[in-house]
A and B are shown apart, each in its own frame.
Chain A
Amino acid sequence: MAKITLSKLRHSYNPKPEGPDDYALKEIDLDWDDGGAYALLGPSGCGKTTLLNIISGLLQPSQGKVLFDDRDVTALPPDKRNIAQVFQFPVIYDTMTVFDNLAFPLRNRGVDEATVGARVHEIAEMLELDDLLTIRAAGLSADNKQKISMGRGLVRKDVNVIMFDEPLTVIDPHLKWKLRSKLKELHQRVRATMIYVTHDQTEALTFADQVVVMKDGEIVQIGTPVELFERPAHTFVGHFIGSPGMNILPCTLRDGQAWFNGQHIETEGPATGDGDAEIGVRPEHISLGSGPLEAEIVKVADVGRHNVVELRLGNSLIKAIVENDVPATGTRVAIGFDPARTRIYRGGRIASQPKERAR
């Protein structure tokens, strides 16, 4: 196990990159702590898989270095890096039994059969595959095949990191949940560094201690699930995480205060400077019935535990989450934002000062 450092990583699939648009990864600097459970979250095409393949060594970065415990491994091939990777589609060796599949990475490294047997049984027991060991792997269901892929990653004791590249894509919905909690449990048992790539926020937030959010080849925020939810560092994070995502309203800054349609909006803290900016507030933090603003109810959707109310505020549409009953559509209601959880963004990035510092 090791700490993984990515230093000034850039990658382009174009051998002669011209502009920043040619780069799949733009300048990544990142530390992954030993034993952490990380999620790499972002929409398709944001560079997650590229980053993963660079860490595993399947891809050579155009620029920058990969360090395992401060040792430069940038030039090492995957099998010399002691890493494991689980792919989107289960990769199993059709001709072998489940046992032989799990034993394969060990046998390739010349581990003696007694150790192989012991280790395979231990992993099979963890993954609840022990009944299937003598069966040919080809005939198994997708979730069992994916468990075998995971098992091949876990079976080596000394792996530096185990990486999962959207491993639940082909798994049936009702089994997804089971495998996800299995994974979490496995992390607690083996304590290996794990990096989980996904575009699904639920998967990322339930699995990880730290979530790295990527967009267009850049890291926009790193934080715990709570931090990402409470105080997104970027409007993209606000949008991407949460359901529905954060409301973003255009505003004007005067003396560090936000003004929307001539109305002063109280925020967590002041921002510096004047001019155009945006207000970000989550639907959970909008209250109906009292407040300085007036909005018209456009649509109400009952999603079970609560109602999602769509409101017209000035020229903008916003969404609010309301626990109790909602007035009929067309009525005008007073609304208010929770000041402590209302942020100011400029150029997409957070601009309001956090409350602690303002105090």
Chain B
Amino acid sequence: MKKQNQKAWFFVLPVLLLVAFNALIPMMTVVNYSVQETFGNNLFFWEGLGWFEKLLRSERFHAALGRQFMFTGMILAIEVPLGVIIALSMPRSGFWVPVCLVLMALPMLIPWNVVGAMWNIFTLPDIGLLGYLMNHVLGIDYNMTQDPFAAWATIIVMDVWHWTSLVVLLSYAGLVSIPEAYYQAARIDGASNWSVFRHIQLPKMKQVLTIAILLRFMDSFNIYTEPFVLTGGGPGNATTLLSIDLVKIALGQFDLGPAAAMSLIYFVITLFVSWLFYTLMTKDDE
């Protein structure tokens, strides 16, 4: 059992000060803006909860939120099973394992706007590798600056390219921590491959998968740079996700009040869904 010790507060004090500076002050600024109206020149007028009301009724917000959930839902539905399958088919040891892991982690370490730029170059209709293949070899009309479906498909594939490795690495870490005896016992008990997955591998991966899903949820829900660089939110508003919309309002139109109200609602939704995920996934651990 851990010792009760209030002096431990001194250990967490630096973190507390730093995060308070970084999180509390900006958060208070945001709250402050969210209840006021400004016409520039540092003139502010009390607005109350007006912005929140307007925002929650605004179709633009609903549409962006809807796109955001669709994006996050789709990438989770693809990346989590795909990552688990890839992790399961990796060898458990050997010379090639570190090589594979390094290559797989590579996309995660590329600056996000470079990821966007890279995919932009990759998908250019006539001179990009993918664009050329689609249009001139496979004969599929593919141009994501004009076709919303192509734009969506591209940002999804880009995210799968970018982040599936996180699920792979975490699942793989869970898999290699399973002692050999479990597999041996299962073989002796006559378990099928499916039983081994269902009753040995999945339970042992559950903890790391929870981390993976949470991280993937948070980061995909907050995604900004990559789709912004790739599609700029277009064509039209087809790929304008929440963050892109928020930055448009806050920095583009400098509508501080609505942007702040939107920030708060956005943050609360992220928190709530993360909490929901966490509770659901750890529910039967007592």
For this complex, 18 residue pairs linking A to B, each with C-beta atoms less than 8 Å apart, are: A56-B188, A79-B188, A85-B188, A89-B179, A91-B181, A95-B202, A95-B203, A96-B199, A104-B195, A104-B199, A105-B189, A105-B190, A108-B191, A108-B192, A109-B190, A139-B286, A152-B185, A152-B189
- Contact: B181 with A88, CB < 8 Å? yes
Contacts of A84 in B (CB 8 A): 188
Taken together as a complex, chains A and B put the C-alpha atoms of A186 and B190 apart, in Å, by: 23
Interchain CA distance A89-B185 in the complex, whole Å: 11
Whether A93 sits at the interface, judged by CB under 8 Å, is: yes
Judge whether B200 is part of the interface by a CB distance below 8 angstroms: yes
Find out whether the CB atom of B286 lies under 8 angstroms from the CB atom of A149. no
* Chain A CB within 8 A of B184 CB: yes
Q: Which residues of A contact B60 (CB under 8 A)?
A: none
Known: A85-B188, A87-B181, A95-B199; 13 extra A-B contacts, CB below 8 A, are: A58-B187, A78-B184, A79-B188, A79-B190, A88-B181, A89-B179, A89-B181, A93-B200, A94-B204, A108-B189, A108-B190, A149-B185, A152-B189
The listed residue (A78, A93, A96) touching B187 by CB distance below 8 A is A78
Number of A interface residues in the complex (CB < 8 A): 24
| B179 neighbours in A (Cβ, 8 Å) | 89, 91
The binding surface of chain B is classed by DSSP as: helix
Q: How far does the Cβ of B240 sit from chain A's closest Cβ, in whole Å?
A: 42
Assuming the contacts A87-B181, A89-B179, asked whether A104 and B189 have C-beta atoms less than 8 A apart, the reply is yes
Q: Give chain B nearest CB distance to A313 CB in angstroms.
A: 47
Q: Which residue of B lies closest to A81 (CB)?
A: B188
> Which single residue of chain A is at the shortest CB-CB distance from B192?
A108
Q: Are B191 and A91 in contact (CB under 8 A)?
A: no
| A83 in contact (CB, < 8 A) | yes
Expressed in whole angstroms, the minimum distance between the Cβ of B113 and any Cβ of chain A is 43
CA A121 to CA B198, docked complex, whole Å: 25
B181 touching A83, Cβ below 8 Å: no
Complex Cα distance, B38 from A70, in Å, reads 93
Q: How long is the Cα–Cα vector from A192 to B27 in the complex, in angstroms?
A: 71
Shortest Cβ distance from B172 into chain A, in angstroms? 20
Q: Give a binary string over A84-118; 1 marks a CB under 8 Å from any B CB, 0 the rest.
A: 11011101011110000000110011000000000
B182 interface residue (CB < 8 Å to A): yes
Given contacts A87-B181, A89-B181, contact A94 B188 (CB under 8 A): no
Residue of A nearest to B187 (CB): A78
For A104, list chain B residues within 8 Å (CB): 189, 191, 195, 199
A87 touches B185 (CB 8 A): yes
* A85 touching B184, Cβ below 8 Å: yes
CA distance A84 to B190 in the complex (A): 10
B286 contact set on A, CB distance < 8 A: 139
Q: How far is the CA of A56 from the CA of B183 in the complex (A)?
A: 13
Q: Which of B187, B200, B202 contacts A77 (CB 8 A)?
A: B187
When distances are taken between beta carbons in the complex, the residues of chain B under 8 Å from A53 are: 184
- Please judge, given known A-B contacts A105-B190, A108-B192, A152-B189, whether A58 and B199 are in contact too, CB under 8 Å: no
* Cβ B185 vs Cβ A91 within 8 A: yes
Most buried by B among A79, A85, A93, A149: A93
In the complex the two chains form, is A58's CB within 8 Å of B189's CB?
no
Interchain CA distance A217-B195 in the complex, whole Å: 35
Chain A CB count within 10 A is highest, among B189, B199, B202, B203, for B189
Q: Which residue on B lies nearest to A104, using beta carbons?
A: B189
CB distance from B99 to the nearest CB of A (A): 22
Contacts of B187 in A (CB 8 A): 58, 77-79
Chain B nearest CB, measured from A319 CB (Å): 39
Please provide the chain A residues from 14 to 62 with a CB less than 8 Å away from any CB of chain B in the complex. Answer: 53, 56, 58
CB A146 to nearest CB in B, in angstroms, measures 12
Query: Bound state CA distance, A189 and B98, in angstroms?
Result: 51
Q: Which of B184, B190, B192, B199 contacts A93 (CB 8 A)?
A: B199
Cβ distance A105 to chain B, nearest Cβ, rounded Å: 4
Q: A residues within 8 A CB of B181?
A: 87-89, 91
- Write the A127-171 contact mask toward B (1 if CB under 8 angstroms, else 0): 000000000000100000000010010000000000000000000
Query: Bound complex: CA of A95 vs CA of B182, how far in Å?
Result: 14
Cα distance, A87 to B180, chains bound together (Å): 10
A-chain residues with CB within 8 Å of residue B199 when the two chains form the complex: 93-96, 104
How many angstroms between the C-alpha atoms of A89 and B184 in the bound complex?
12
Are B195 and A83 neighbours in the complex by a CB distance under 8 Å? no
Q: How far is the CB of A13 from chain B (nearest CB, A)?
A: 14
A87 engages B203 (CB within 8 Å):
no
Q: Point out which of A58, A83, A91, A108 has the most chain B C-beta atoms below 10 A from its C-beta.
A: A91
User: Which residues from chain B contact A149 at a C-beta distance below 8 Å?
Assistant: 185
- Say whether, besides A58-B184, A89-B179, A149-B185, A94 and B203 are in contact (CB < 8 Å): yes
